[in-house]
Amino acid sequence: MNAYKLLYGPQRRFGMFIHWGLYALTEYHEQILRRTPMERDDYEKLISQFNPASFSADEWVRQAKEAGMSYICFTTKHHDGFCMWDTQYTDYNVMHTPFGRDVVKEFSEACKKYDMGLGLYYSVPDWHHPNAYNPLSTHQLPPRPSDRPDMDAYVDYIKHQITELLTNYGPICCLFWDIPPHIDDPSLNELARQLQPGIRINDRGFDPGDYSTPERHVPNGAFTRLTEGCQSVGRQSWGYRRNEDYYTARFLESSMDTILSKGGNYLLNIGPMPDGSMPPKALELLQNVGSWYKRVTESYMGKYPSQLFSDQTAFTVTQNENQLYLHFNGYPEANGVCLRPLDILPTEVTLLNTGEHPDVALDVIPTLFMEPDGQTPWLHVYNLPFDELAGEVPVLRLTFESAQQLQKYTQASAVTEAIF
């Protein structure tokens, strides 16, 4: 699998996305200015109210670490244009609030303490900057009478701010642009790479970047490039919403497992409350998903996507030498599974969720009686406790005597190396 690569290496697969800014004070949505009649002038007055007494970057990063996460991606500036760091290029920033603390700096220090990667989100749309209006892009607000749309001037502003972010806060693992401007300007990513050699840059900026970012869905088929799936704990908003519709832990695990088992990264978002604390339900979900992830994490680390059983819809497969991992990220129909074309017994079968060892045999399967090989004994795993695990994704590990035992099956099923 020499062609198989991962976004941030084998150990940084699961990250926390954090959407937090002035919009938390509205308790509605991070794009409240696009989704309600609220005026920008009224919104921008929120700068005088931002004073999150309960905020602790250390606590947030510690909670992420305990959930098995290994990196953070923080919203330094969302579409509203408000900056969460001590920038020299606009007064519309966190240092001009009653809070008056550089949030990005505090995250940088906490990530270093807990050995977490730090990634930075930066919105290309900016509803505050007078030069930022871009009719070629989406997520724009019409310019105010006092604005002076000028993309050249605005790109200079972006370069100044990116230079600050990639110079003043230590190692940065990724730059997460948001909303493609539909302007081809490779110089921005070139600047980022000069300032942070080895940084990964996503596909929502001024050129295709290094990796794809499917949002709130799982793409069909194998990934053809580095991929980071993005999802939030809440269906309605990425920033904090008082009346949020939270996803179930099972739904999030299914989405996450499908992305990870295809070789991608998973970035799970939480929108903190106005006082800087985590919403209790969001924290509960984080802990539940984290508990499951830590029990099954070996099925992703150092493993690669396999096309063995590619005709199956009940599960996806990861593999490494003499081990197969079956990821039941859909809803299993029965408590047993026939693993044709395997016609050998494994040395061990383990359900990673619980440590149990389900029953296993070479069986002639009655439902295959019409098939040409219907009288062949195939590997059959049964008495799986799927009903007892209805709230989480089961992951099954099958260990065989040697890699050579599996080689003929992977060749027969035309396994292809991931090309990203």
Quick: pLDDT tens for 204-242: 999 999 999 999 998 888 898 999 999 999 999 999 999
CA distance 281 to 268: 14
Residue 162 has pLDDT above 60, yes or no: yes
Q: Give the integer Cα–Cα distance in Å for 273 and 405.
A: 53
Model pLDDT for residues 380-406, shown as the tens digit of each residue: 999 999 999 999 999 999 999 999 988
Q: Would you say the C-alpha torsion 296, 261, 337, 390 has a positive or negative sign?
A: positive
CA distance 184 to 334: 51
- According to CATH, where is 2.60.40.1180 located in the chain? 304-412
Fold (CATH) for 14-299: TIM Barrel (3.20.20)
Percent of residues, the chain, with pLDDT higher than 70:
96
What's the rounded Cα separation, in Å, for the pair 406 and 409?
5
Confidence band of 247 (pLDDT split at 50, 70, 90): very high
pLDDT in tens, 267-285: 999 999 999 999 999 999 9
At a CB cut-off of 8 Å and minimum separation 6, what does 250 contact? 390, 391, 392, 393
pLDDT reported for residue 313: 78
127, 79 in Cβ contact below 8 A?
A: yes
pLDDT at residue 373 in the model: 85
- The chain-wide mean pLDDT, for the chain, equals 94
Q: Considering the chain, tell me which residue range(s) the CATH 3.20.20.80 domain(s) occupy.
A: 14-299
pLDDT at 182: 97
pLDDT recorded at residue 54: 97
For every residue of the chain, which 3-state class applies, written as one string?
A: CCCCCCCCCCCCCEEEEECCCHHHHHCCCCCHHHHCCCCHHHHHHHHHCCCCCCCCHHHHHHHHHHCCCCEEEEEEECCCCCECCCCCCCCCEHHHCCCCCCHHHHHHHHHHHCCCEEEEEEECCCCCCCCCCCCCCCCCCCCCCCCCCCHHHHHHHHHHHHHHHCCCCCCCCEEEEECCCCCCCCHHHHHHHHHCCCCEEECCCCCCCCEECCECCCCCCCCCCCEEEEEECECCCCCCCCCCCECCHHHHHHHHHHHHHCCCEEEEEECCCCCCCCCHHHHHHHHHHHHHHHHHHHHCCCCEEECCCCCCCCCEEEEECCEEEEECCCCCCCCCEECCCCCCCCCEEEECCCCCCCEEEEECCHHHCCCCCCCCCEEEEECCCCCCCCCCCCEEEEECCCHHHHHHHHHHCCCCCCCC
CATH class of the domain whose range is 304-412: mainly beta
* pLDDT attached to residue 221: 86
Please write the tens of the pLDDT for every residue from 332-376.
899 999 999 999 999 999 999 999 999 999 999 898 888 888 899
pLDDT value for 4: 63
Confidence of residue 411 (pLDDT cuts 50, 70, 90): low
Supply 37's token pair.
């009649």
Q: What was the pLDDT predicted at 9?
A: 81
Question: Could you report the per-residue pLDDT of 4-18, keeping only the tens digit for each?
Answer: 678 988 789 999 999
Instruction: Specify the pLDDT at position 308.
Output: 86
Could you tell me if 125 and 140 are in contact, meaning their C-beta atoms sit under 8 angstroms apart? yes
Please report the pLDDT score of residue 183 as a whole number: 96
pTM of the model: 0.94
